[in-house]
Amino acid sequence: MRPFPPYRIQVVKEIPITTRQQREEALARASYNPFNLPASMVTIDLLTDSGTGAVSATQEAFAAQADRAYAGSDSFYRFRRAVDELTSYPHAYPVHQGRAAERVLFSTVLKPGQISLSNTHFDTTRANVELLGAEARDLPCAEFGNLDSREPFKGNIDLDALEQTLRGPDGGRVGQVLVTITNNGGGGQPVSMANLRAVRSLCDRYGVPFFLDAARFAENSWLVVQREPGYGHLTPREVARQTFALADGCVASLKKDGIAPMGALLGVRDPELAKQCEANLIATEGFRTYGGMAAHDLERVAQGLHEVLDPNYLRSREADAAHFAELIAQAGVDIVQPAGMHALYLNAGRLLPHIPPHGYPGHALASELYLAGGVRAAELGSLYLGSFDENHNLVSPAPFELVRLAIPRRTYTLAHLEYVADVLADIAKNPGRVASYRIVDAPPLLRHFNLKLAQIPAEY
């Protein structure tokens, strides 16, 4: 039997339907930056899976009964029980958002000149490291270099590179090892338990703290159950517990696998580190029992942490992503293989060979998805990962030009995903018509959120 979503839809929200001319005008007003588009002008929004999932009736029922006490509310203790069931961290704090949890932890752990090592730092993670005067250094595994291979755990960190760094001349500068599960910046690929255990061993050997960026811990756990020998008999919850037990702590945006509009977790083992983080949290985010979160969000997250580990839900989500991947392949567009769960990553560089890196093929494809069908997506190519001079000229392009189609949880049906595939198929019939772009203005940090671009019409 085919997997199906273990829920039925009882409340719906109207989707905006727009014309090509309206979209052209909207994108021009947005300076060709999809982050500047109003949601009222977006038909299918695959920009992010963060905070965009549908909450359940049970989550809303708990939210309606939330306890808004400033300190020690019942909602906090419900949140804490849900966290304790998953993690073994004696010190765990709610924080309003993942990047805030990163800031609190990193500003306690890292000093200027130190290095943060990761399988891949994502955008705000990298920014929070660099704002401290530290270096964010990525060590993705070699298997990720082949986008077409179906290696099951291409999100792994490169263990040889990790050990060489830890024992080399830069070893004394390493302030932390941070492994992102799943590897969002690395094509949404999962990390194996064997890789995590090896990281734990290396960090113990060289005396470096090991943390998880666990925003998509449930989906990583499910893919471990499905793909890694020796784990098929376990439940996703059991794998998640083993995962958290390997690390010294974690940051986790719960807007992803907490299936909530807002919220995050900061968990640590070391009591002295916990004291420093707690003082920072109280001074900048909120008291330790709410951390900047409203009580109703504490309730939604606590319930979401239960719902997200339902095997029927995870099986259905994996099946939806796999079906979407098949439709995209039939449309004539390649993705990073194998298909993950929270997003599919289009190989824009291969589809648009007429656009050089300094014309930003990833951004060009994302823009054409919007212009052709009102689909909003995010570029993960040279705009995001390239290096630039002071005049916004591309100096070093990204290794790959990708477009991320992030799939919100419990939000779109297969018919919506089929529509997106149809839009891609139309683009793939004549990719030479897709325009390239140039940067007009951009900030030095997190440029993709705020940059302004101009369109360069295609010549074909």
Q: Would you please indicate which residues are annotated as catalytic (active-site) residues? A: 70, 122-123, 213, 215, 256, 448
Tokens of 72: 């020690």
Cα 423 to Cα 417: distance, rounded to the nearest angstrom: 10
E-strand ranges in 193-310 read: 210-213, 249-253, 264-268
> E-strand spans in 352-423?
375-376, 378-380, 387-388, 394-396, 402-406
Integer Cα distance of 113 and 93 in angstroms: 28
Continuous segment of H or E residues that includes residue 175:
strand 174-180
Cα separation, 261 vs 252, in Å, equals: 14
Distance from C-alpha of 262 to C-alpha of 388, rounded to nearest angstrom: 33
| Token pair belonging to 27 | 């994108």
Local structure of 271: helix, strand or coil:
helix
Give the closest residue to 210 by CA, choosing from 255, 247, 174.
Answer: 247
Q: Give CA–CA dist 295/77, Å, rounded.
A: 11
**Residue 246: how many other CB atoms lie within 10 Å:** 17
Query: CB count, 10 Å around CB of 265?
Result: 29
- Between CA 389 and CA 444 the distance in angstroms is 10
CB neighbour list of residue 332: distance below 8 Å, 6 or more residues apart: 424, 425, 428, 429
